[in-house]
A and B are shown apart, each in its own frame.
Chain A
Amino acid sequence: MILLDAITKEYNDDGAVTHALRGISFEIKKGEFVAIMGASGSGKSTLLHILSFLDRPSRGDYFLDGKNINTLTDEELAATRNHTMGFVFQAFNLLGRSSVYENVELPLLYARVPSEQRKIMVEHAVLSVGLSEKMYAEAGKLSGGQKQRVAIARALVNNPSVIFADEPTGNLDSESGAHVMEILERLNNEEGHTVLLVTHETYTAEFANRILTLKDGQLESDIQVKVRRRSKEDFFK
């Protein structure tokens, strides 16, 4: 469903050019759980931003479901992002003063889903991350792990075909991190969401069935993982 062909990205800060990505090509199929790894500054976030339309590549082609996104307008990109993508960020990025319900509802508001249908979808999403009893709690007052689960509920509420997660466990203790990863794994396994995960932690990456490694803006390796690590005990090892 995702096809990148020689994607490059340069940042130009007052004449100082940073080559964040230098010709990335790969394909991701529907239902994959892909971890993108690499040292800090290797271009992971930049790649994720391009994949999720938050940024446009300097050069190269990006096909989503066969459509070249270079041909889409910003408004079309916003709509596509809204309908087919879910996001989980390292810093949670919740509206702290709003309730869990209101946070999870957000993508549906921009999708113009009618309110009765919204309620059903929000309740379903919140239930699937196990936070139903916190539905009307203020998001800012939850623990870190709970916040990230709200963020996951928000990411999956519009039933996206792909979920992007940029270091989703980076701000969490290992137990909460494991919980979050289990949820992502379940979404991939049982509900068929494609998951694209950026991480620099090997443990976290082990949930994936494919690991892409970046180095200095280039693809260093692309490994299929045969046997995915399973148990919690392994995670804490």
Chain B
Amino acid sequence: MYFTDLLKTSSRALRHAKMRSLLTILGIVIGIASVIVLVSIGKSAEALILDQVKGVGSNLIFVIPGATKGSRFASPPSVQGIIIKTLVKSDADALKRESTILNVAPEVRGQAKIVYENNDTSVTYTGTTEDFFQMRNFTVAEGFTFTRTDVDSLNRVAVLGSEIAHTLFGARNPVGKNVRLKNILFRVVGVLDKKGLGPFGVDQDNLVIIPLPIAQKQLLGIDHYNVINIQANDAYNIDFTKARVTSVLRQNHAITNPDKDDFTVRTQEDALSLLGNITSVLTLFLTSISCIALIVGGIGIMNIMLVSVVERTKEIGLRKALGATTRDILKQFLLEAVLLTTLGGIIGIVIGVLFVIGLYFILVNFSPTGWAFALPLSSVFIAFLVSTAIGILFGIYPARTAAAKSPIEALRYE
């Protein structure tokens, strides 16, 4: 039979049982729609996270105290709350002399209550140097960031995150006002622009930034750093700079055996690949759930096709008596299954895309997360192919059953 005639024959059979055909493909429709929705959500999340990591700054390298044992994604002990005092001023000074390093900003962190008049709240404060703002893409909405003079002269000045400014001052302008941090008065010199969530869900608006020596000496009473932020002069130099940072610190700390490192050097790329790993595990998980839906849908199709083959025993016998070969019958029923699942796939894709667009509008209008619409065309294409493949996979058995029927048995069937 010519393919066009085969197509007409198969599609006619489906049209003659419209309701059944629609119910049969429901599982595939739901499965494919959920694949589209989940892949889109996964991709959007990935894009969002990428933005967040990039938003932290460019060409950054971070040094954290303590070694990282095991995989490069394991967290160093300092992150787990163990205090390690290995990173100090001489390290930062040595790093500043490296030719591919543009800026170095050591950082210490603490928790304290911040008070303005009758308002108070708990906040994470960061003590750092003047370069930190530019390096980490913090820009001011009001006033200015503090300067090198402020740092060197131990001036008690503070830059507030937008959220904390709002909590303490409401609609008033905080610049020039005094806030109290651990009972020390700080003059607010600037308020940061709203920045949103950082990678790993870090709140970048609920913070106070003060000069490094004040934080170290007067608030925390320590000499070491929690992090050293380093900015390389060029994206091409990141790996080289990372290697240099490692060897400078080993030299400074008199470490000869790399297994004895007391610090960890990470680049933004490392953070990205870690996050990439998390999102791909998530995507894989979501995709396998949709796969189960698709397999259930496929089994549904196979089931209905088998019933249909039994019901149409007589038709099969007749076709064979009139000259249909085993292959003709096989092709006819296989094509019916493929048409069903492909139709289900197309409907599923349409529903999925509409759902994603709806979701996108809701998120954009009601939540300021900076969520971006992502629907890779490849996923639509793959969904289409998968639905066709399911038709072949789950249609082959019913089709073979049909093709194997002997014409007289089939004609005798009542």
Contact = CB atoms under 8 A, between A and B. Distances in A.
Interface of A: 49, 52, 54-55, 74-75, 78-79, 81-83, 87, 89, 93, 95, 97-98, 102, 106-107, 109-112, 115, 154
Interface string B305-330: 00000000011011111111111100
A107 B323 contact: yes
B359 interface: no
Given A74-B326, A82-B323, A89-B411, 7 more contacts: A54-B321, A78-B320, A87-B322, A93-B317, A107-B322, A109-B9, A115-B5
Contacts of A74: 325-326
A106 B321 CA distance: 11
Contacts of A107: 322-323
Nearest to B325: A78
Contact of A75 (B2, B5, B325): B325
B99 to A, nearest CB: 78
A110 B408 contact: no
Contacts of B407: 54
B12 interface: yes
Contact of A54 (B1, B5, B408): B408
Instruction: Name which of A54, A79, A115 has the most chain B CB atoms within 10 A of its CB.
Output: A54
5 contacts: A106-B319, A109-B9, A110-B1, A110-B328, A112-B2
Contacts, number: 60
Nearest to B315: A95
- Chain B interface: which size bin? 20 to 34
Contacts of B16: 97
Would you call the interface of chain B mostly helix, strand, loop, or mixed?
helix
A95 B16 CA distance: 11
Contact of A93 (B314, B326, B328): B314
A48 B130 CA distance: 102
A79 B408 contact: no
Given A49-B408, A93-B411, A98-B12, A79 B323 contact: yes
Contacts of A89: 411
Contacts of A75: 325-327
B1 A109 contact: yes
Given A74-B326, A93-B411, A97-B16, A81 B321 contact: yes
Nearest first, the 5 closest Cβ-Cβ pairs linking A and B are A82-B323, A110-B323, A78-B325, A107-B322, A97-B16
Interface in B99-115: none
Contact of B323 (A49, A111, A115): A111
A154 B322 contact: yes
A89 B326 CA distance: 21
A93 B408 contact: no
A113 B201 CA distance: 68
Given A93-B318, A95-B315, A81 B323 contact: yes
A234 to B, nearest CB: 33
Nearest to A106: B322
B321 A87 contact: yes
A120 to B, nearest CB: 16
A75 B411 CA distance: 19
B7 to A, nearest CB: 12
A110 B327 CA distance: 11
Contacts of B12: 98, 102
A78 B324 CA distance: 7
Contacts of B411: 54, 89, 93
A125 B327 CA distance: 27
B402 to A, nearest CB: 15
B322 A82 contact: yes
Contacts of B319: 106, 110
Interface in B26-62: none
Contacts of B326: 74-75, 78
Nearest to B328: A110
Interface in B1-32: 1-2, 5, 9, 12, 16
Contacts of A79: 323, 325
A102 B314 CA distance: 17
A60 to B, nearest CB: 18
Contact of B5 (A49, A81, A109): A109
